[in-house]
A and B are shown apart, each in its own frame.
Chain A
Amino acid sequence: MKRVGLVLLVLLFGVTLFACQSEDQFDLDEKTSIVVGLEAAYAPFNWATPTQNEFTVSITGQAGFYADGYDVVMAQRIADALGLNLVIKAYGWDGLIPALNAGEIDLIIAGMSPTAERALTVNFSEEYYRSEQVMVVRVDGSYADATSITDFSGAKVVAQAGTLQDDLIDQITGVIHQETLNSYSDLVNALAYGTSDAFVAELPVATSIVQTNSQFMIIQFGEGLGFEVSDEDIMVSVAMRLEDLNLLDAVNEALSGITNLERQQIMQDALLRQPQE
């Protein structure tokens, strides 16, 4: 019996070693394409559409599905700068970092903030968008006149699971911090059907949601009245594997070629390409 245990242990070690075998750096000269992962469910950063246009890229493995949005345009710009073909794959939010580390994708361009916690498992580029954190509430609700986060004392507030927005809720004193939900569609539901009084979102996402839901409105906060956030929290960055240092340099260089003004324009256009109510 002991011997069987030993054999199993050796086998397990072998498998683990094999699985952990560090791949070489991303080979910019050898590779012909770069695989970008996103949710295709986080408008205006990324969403899915059945219609092709000059901005869309088809989602690999899902014929007839095209990804569109700010992230897709940025991904295309980065791929162009690197001289690589852009391949897009869609994963659930929680599946993105596992997919990256499993080598299924090379970059995550999915409106992801470079939090310190995530930075332990992946590398982040310089920011490719900077945003502000706002609240989305019902127009006819009791929080429509809120101006400060302290006004949300006693309110039922919710956010997407595993996001910065969820952590921010605790800054509101006396808040009812609700169990997180899996996607922004769920947040919209929770608000529309009164399960929640408000949810936390970054401005472009909130704009896109309000655009398609006229019963909702955005609460923006003035200086000192909103959430206390660090720089890393309001930035979104491209994520890549820790070992791909050369890719990090290349992506940063590509991003430095896109001016702030251009970025605002790309976001504006992405918002306009979405369905409006």
Chain B
Amino acid sequence: MMMILTSIPPKDEFFKTIIYLLDTYGSFFIRGVLITLLLSVVGTVGGFILSLFLTIIRNQDIDYKRDSWFEIAIKKLGIGFTKVYITVFRGTPMIVQAMIFYYGIAPLRLSFWNPLVAGLVVVTLNTTAYIAEVIRSGINGIDKGQMEAARSLGFSKRQSMFKVIFPQAIKNSLPAIGNEFIVNLKDTAVLSVIGVFDLFKATQSATSSNYRPVEGFFIAAVIYLILTFITSKLVDHLEHKKVKVVNVNA
């Protein structure tokens, strides 16, 4: 029988151990990074899109004179839902949401349901709540005069919202949304609890037979830092650009 005899550097050889881990488990780290990026990108982009719906629902105006009782009921229900949604998803840890979603839905035996899908759903729903709040403060930050000006130019309330207020609010919110992406890069590590093979879990696997967690997670830390550093530079760049555009418009 063929024996696979591998040797790892002694415990006190920190950098040799790091090279050993990178050399032996490079494929683990690469795959972990890809999954972490996938979770963060899908979570942030999906969260952004869903949060737009939330924002639209939440900013409905109830006109007690003109709306029928049915319209009023639907609108109230919608507004109530967004409030509950945001409170629940911002008020509970993502690790708790992951446990409830993954193990709660698993007994339905859906063929597509696996840890990664559950992770993508949870990170998206979670980010939706945060970005919805970001956009809300973006809307609050728009001067009242913008709405008044739009209305005086003959825009309807809805038109003013969609054509004047939202675009500015979203543009102002972009840096904060970029920050959500950075947060997601780091916080998706908790999804390893349901078996998502992100960078954290991949690192755990890489040290599963050699018990060298410090060296392994040192590598993970450097990778996380590189990812967040690049992203924060991109966000800075975006912010800078935004200021320019506003200046031109002004």
Residue ranges of A at the interface with B (Cβ–Cβ < 8 Å): 18-19, 40-43, 47-51, 53-54, 61-65, 68-69, 89-92, 94-95, 98-99, 102-104, 183-186, 188-189, 192, 208-209, 212-215, 269, 272-277
Contacts and interface: CB of A to CB of B under 8 A. Distances in A.
Given A92-B195, A215-B11, A276-B8, A185 B213 contact: yes
A119 B7 CA distance: 39
A32 to B, nearest CB: 15
B204 interface: yes
B208 A19 contact: no
Contacts of B207: 185
A102 B103 contact: yes
27 contacts: A19-B107, A19-B108, A42-B208, A47-B205, A50-B27, A51-B4, A54-B2, A61-B114, A61-B197, A65-B28, A65-B205, A90-B195, A92-B194, A95-B103, A99-B195, A102-B107, A103-B106, A185-B204, A185-B216, A192-B214, A212-B210, A212-B211, A214-B10, A272-B5, A275-B7, A275-B8, A276-B6
A64 B31 contact: yes
Nearest 3 pairs between A and B by C-beta?
A: A102-B106, A48-B205, A47-B209
Contacts of A192: 11, 214
B11 A213 contact: yes
A43 B209 contact: yes
Contacts of B155: none
A61 B116 contact: yes
B192 to A, nearest CB: 7
Given A49-B209, A91-B195, A98-B103, A273 B214 contact: no
Interface in B1-51: 1-11, 24-28, 31
A275 B214 contact: no
Contacts of A54: 2
Contacts of A18: 108
Interface residues of B, number: 43
Nearest to B212: A212
A41 B214 contact: no
Interface in B86-107: 103-104, 106-107
Nearest to B214: A189
Nearest to B24: A50
Given A102-B106, A183-B204, A274-B209, A269 B1 contact: yes
Contacts of A269: 1, 3
Contact of A272 (B3, B9, B106, B116): B3
Residue with the highest number of chain B CB atoms closer than 10 Å, among A53, A102, A103: A102
Contacts of B27: 50, 64
A265 to B, nearest CB: 10
Nearest to B105: A102
Contacts of A189: 213-214
A146 to B, nearest CB: 22
A255 to B, nearest CB: 22
Interface of B: 1-11, 24-28, 31, 103-104, 106-109, 114-116, 192-195, 197, 204-214, 216
B106 A50 contact: no
B210 to A, nearest CB: 5
Nearest to B117: A61
Nearest to A186: B213
Contacts of B31: 62-65
Contacts of B210: 212, 274-275
Nearest to A42: B208
B208 A47 contact: yes
A183 B109 CA distance: 29
A221 to B, nearest CB: 23
A189 B206 CA distance: 15
A99 B106 contact: yes
Given A41-B204, A103-B109, A89 B195 contact: yes
Contact of B4 (A48, A213, A273): A273
Nearest to B20: A275
B8 A40 contact: no
A43 B208 contact: yes
